[in-house]
Amino acid sequence: MPELPEVETTRRGIEPYLVGHMAERVLVRERRLRWPIPEDLDVRLSGQRILAVERRAKYLLIRAETGCLIVHLGMSGSLRLIQAGQAPGKHDHVDLLLDSGMALRYTDPRRFGAWLWSEDPFQHVLLASLGPEPLGDDFSGDRLYRLSRGRSMAIKPFIMDNAVVVGVGNIYASEALFAAGIDPRKAAGSISRARYLKLADEIRRILAFAIECGGTTLRDFVGGDGKPGYFKQELYVYGRAGEFCKCCGATLREIRLGQRASVYCGRCQR
């Protein structure tokens, strides 16, 4: 699943081709995504100039003159720029045609993404209750410490909770916990303030580095410019169960936390 760095990489890739251009038409071939694409999306967006391409958590916000297109990539979705009129493939469900002769094409084999419309996206039900951005000023180790008090849930699903902080998915939660030396099974409420300060710093550092690297290429993701990311080669634990820890040489272990596979080092993470 594309995570925050992959979505931010996509945003940066498509932004120069969209901002300032007119949306001429929204060509929908398949409306049945996670939520049906609105029947009137073409009417609402066509003829409007695109003012900005933003990101909130894992949602892309394509702002137009009277509203905002909310795009989520789901589990297997991707966006790329093509020449308008290029023949679609089996899983190419939507084209946003631009006055430049280009089109923003949405591809999604599993159809678990979304294309929605809102006049006020931050009040939309999908965005209204989200926590702070991990790279923003509102996120801190103190916030994690404060929200964790009395919580018995494991630390990994705690930091993956979008009400706590957005965009820390399975890959980057695993990597941040390893970098901070914290066992992913440890109860969130049992972790000290000092360790949360360290964890918040590692979350910021790893996400920022992954964005600069272009995200993590895992199966389906391709950036908006058609170039895959290369952060995968920097992974210390995610997807490396049974391999040797790059820091201490111990064999990495895999467990299930919150119905997700989680890999950690029993020697480095306490």
Instruction: CATH number of the domain at 260, please.
Output: 1.10.8.50
For strand 68-72 and strand 59-63, is the pairing parallel, antiparallel, or unpaired? antiparallel
**Which pLDDT tens digit goes with each residue over 125-176?**
999 999 999 999 999 999 999 999 999 999 999 999 999 999 999 999 999 9
The answer to the question of whether 110 is labelled as a binding residue is: yes
On whether both 117 and 155 belong to a single domain, the answer is no
Q: Would you say residue 152 lies in a domain?
A: yes
On whether both 109 and 168 belong to a single domain, the answer is no
On whether both 68 and 103 belong to a single domain, the answer is yes
Annotated catalytic residue within 11, 55, 58, 195: 58
Q: State the residue range of the domain holding 79.
A: 4-123
Q: What is the pLDDT of residue 218?
A: 43
**Which pLDDT tens digit goes with each residue over 74-96?**
998 999 999 999 999 999 999 99
Assign residue 76 the CATH number of its domain: 3.20.190.10
The answer to the question of whether 91 is labelled as a binding residue is: yes
Longest alpha-carbon distance in the chain? 59
On whether both 32 and 88 belong to a single domain, the answer is yes
On whether both 260 and 216 belong to a single domain, the answer is yes
Structural element, H or E, at residue 262: strand 260-264
Is 227 among the catalytic positions?
no
Token pair 């789901």 is found at: 74
Q: Would you say residue 64 lies in a domain?
A: yes
On whether both 150 and 232 belong to a single domain, the answer is yes
Q: Would you say residue 269 lies in a domain?
A: no
On whether both 148 and 36 belong to a single domain, the answer is no
Q: What is the pLDDT of residue 225?
A: 55
190: DSSP letter: G
User: At residue 200, what is the residue type?
Assistant: A
Residue 226 CA to its chain's centroid (Å):
17
Q: What is the pLDDT of residue 229?
A: 58
* Token pair listed for 9: 């990489």
Is 54 among the catalytic positions?
no
**Domain count within the chain:** 2
The answer to the question of whether 55 is labelled as a binding residue is: no
27 HSE (CA, 13 A, CB side)? 17
Q: Would you say residue 103 lies in a domain?
A: yes
Q: Would you say residue 129 lies in a domain?
A: no
Q: What angle do CA 256, 262, 263 make, to 5 degrees?
A: 130
CA distance 58 to 108: 16
Is 58 among the catalytic positions?
yes
On whether both 106 and 150 belong to a single domain, the answer is no
* Token pair listed for 35: 């939520």
Is 256 among the catalytic positions?
no
CA distance 173 to 22: 39
Q: Would you say residue 130 lies in a domain?
A: no
What rounded mean pLDDT belongs to the chain? 92
Q: Would you say residue 62 lies in a domain?
A: yes
Neighbours of 188 (CB within 10 A): 23
Q: What is the dihedral of CA 113, 115, 117, 122, to 10 degrees?
A: 40
Backbone angles phi, psi at 14, to 5 degrees: -95, -20
Q: Would you say residue 133 lies in a domain?
A: no
On whether both 178 and 234 belong to a single domain, the answer is yes
Cβ within 8 Å of residue 63, ≥6 positions away: 50, 51, 52, 53, 54, 69
- What's the pTM? 0.90
Q: What is the pLDDT of residue 234?
A: 78
On whether both 74 and 176 belong to a single domain, the answer is no
On whether both 10 and 102 belong to a single domain, the answer is yes
- The low-confidence residues of the chain, meaning pLDDT below 70, are 215-233
Q: What is the pLDDT of residue 219?
A: 42
On whether both 146 and 259 belong to a single domain, the answer is yes
